[in-house]
Amino acid sequence: MLDPELREKNWGTWEGLTAVERDRVEFVGETTVEHQERILRALRRICGLHAGDGRVLVVTHGGSMRRVQTAALGWALPVVENCGRWLCACENGAFRALD
């Protein structure tokens, strides 16, 4: 099932621009906090829909995974490699690292 709530951060006015081009454009888009709130809300909803099912596989963007890492660990890993995986549990709405 596709869930638009799991999409990467909305870069708004910076979408598709190079670093040099971004220096000349004011950022209007989703903040990191807004991105994290959206991702965690989606994961909590998914966990609620599958309570008692055991494990659920969720595939998303590396930046989105980093927002979950921050919620679970208090910090994010520096890089999430393409096709990388990171395991966590959602228990009573809180996230806990399993890796």
Segments making up each domain of the chain, as ranges: 4-97
Q: What is the pTM of this model?
A: 0.89
Instruction: Report CA dihedral (73, 77, 78, 80) to the nearest 10 degrees.
Output: -140
**CA 52, chain centre distance (Å):** 23
Look at residues 51, 50, 30 and name the one whose alpha carbon lies nearest to residue 39.
30
Say how far apart CA 22 and CA 34 lie, in whole Å: 20
Quick: pLDDT tens for 36-74.
999 999 999 999 999 888 889 999 999 999 999 999 999
pLDDT above 80: residue 99: no
pLDDT value of position 81: 86
The number of C-alpha atoms within 13 Å of 88 and in the hemisphere containing its C-beta is 24
